Structure 1
């Protein structure tokens, strides 16, 4: 997704920075500087269908290496929206790592049971680099923090329902902010 967001070409508000490995590069890194810094006003977006042309997978994992700003309360790292601007998936980081997941129908009040805000109760706003793995499988979501700490929480999902791909993926911003 780094390439899809155009980060290697440094869009406005994005600058290269020294990454977790202090600038060293391994054979698997396609870009010379694999870490980027985004200023507070930067909004990068892509159509969800570009990243998921065959639909959003039922079970999936998100892998992220990041350094959150110190004293960051809780801010979206990225968010997925439907074409009606409904939030359907969002990963938030800072004093708490949390995942928002919604596969219900926003026009059906009884579908609110499928609206999930899952807090993992871990703080990563210390200015250090962290590796996050978030895995959604069945009716649970697991966070693996820094290749060690593993936290699993329940996730109420409708059986067999995929997240919609008719909207946008945004980085670093939430539409209703």
Structure 2
């Protein structure tokens, strides 16, 4: 534990925290109405392409994602992302593609005492970690979403909705699974620790793959509404420029105009481009770890 406290202090840039029992900081309490969404990738400086990260094509041809292919220092003090406290009920939204066969954390939030308070682990199965200031829920009651695999080398849209005593996982706008989350009535997460992307402190398992979006939004409405624009997301990437659209229309008679409610010509190329997008591989594996794993 002393080593862990020193490591946390180096990550947060603050003095080494005292090794006291779990406590509740005043800045981490409350309902946090009006708290804005937090773009975790922006806060962790992904757009500046730090060491271990490079730009890659996203889920749609026009999207930009970030490929994490070797150990990187992607962390920040939690209070910088949530100065008003971490919301009680929230949505976690991500668009992600992991290296095939991977089982690793996407995001982990530690308290000042080194307690893992929040985490999302991708792979087979998907695990959600939550522990409030009272230590609830205990490890045996931590939610596990069995029967799902997000380690197949494909893009996935993942939404997590945490509200009250339950957590709901929505994958690709098709699968929706709810699990109990027996936390306390007024749960609080300490914001005086650190938030880390793709790793856990003193753990060798790390994330490898592509991530396009990682956002935490107060309330659960964002998670349930995240699929409403799904069909339109890639349409913008395939849409022609206004000049090309005008030229294309002048070559058609009014009877030959395609219906605006049915776009079979746009849908098929969209699938082809998505299938041809390069999956994350172990082209730059970490030394000594799974050099022979490749996408199916």
| Alignment TM-score > 0.5, same fold | yes
2:128 paired with 1:96:
no
Flag the 1:95–1:40 CA change in 2: closer, same or farther, 3 A: farther
Residues 135-155 of structure 1 show CA distances to partners (whole Å, capped at 9, x for unaligned) of 100000000000121000000
Q: Unaligned regions of 5+ residues in structure 1, if any?
A: 26-32, 106-110
2:111 paired with 1:85:
no
Say which one has the larger Rg.
2
2:200 paired with 1:174:
yes
2:149 corresponds, among 98, 116, 123, to 123
Give the 3-state SS of the residue equivalent to 2:177 in structure 1: strand
Bigger fraction of residues in helix: 2
Residues 39-78 of structure 1 show CA distances to partners (whole Å, capped at 9, x for unaligned) of 2311300111111111011100100000011011x21001
2:184 corresponds, among 147, 158, 161, to 158
1:10 corresponds, among 49, 57, 65, to 49
Provide the rounded CA distance (Å) in 1 between the counterparts of 2:137 and 2:106.
Answer: 24
State TM-score, norm by structure 1: 0.87
Give the 3-state SS of the residue equivalent to 1:11 in structure 2: coil
C-alpha contact (below 8 Å) 1:63/1:133 kept by paired residues: yes
Q: How does 1:22-171 map to 2 (within 5 A)?
A: 22=61, 24-25=62-63, 33=64, 35-72=65-102, 74-105=103-134, 111=135, 113-115=137-139, 116-121=141-146, 122-171=148-197
Bigger fraction of residues in strand: 1
Provide the rounded CA distance (Å) in 1 between the counterparts of 2:52 and 2:136.
Answer: 36
C-alpha contact (below 8 Å) 2:130/2:137 kept by paired residues: no
Provide the rounded CA distance (Å) in 2 between the counterparts of 1:163 and 1:76.
Answer: 18
Provide the rounded CA distance (Å) in 1 between the counterparts of 2:193 and 2:95.
Answer: 25
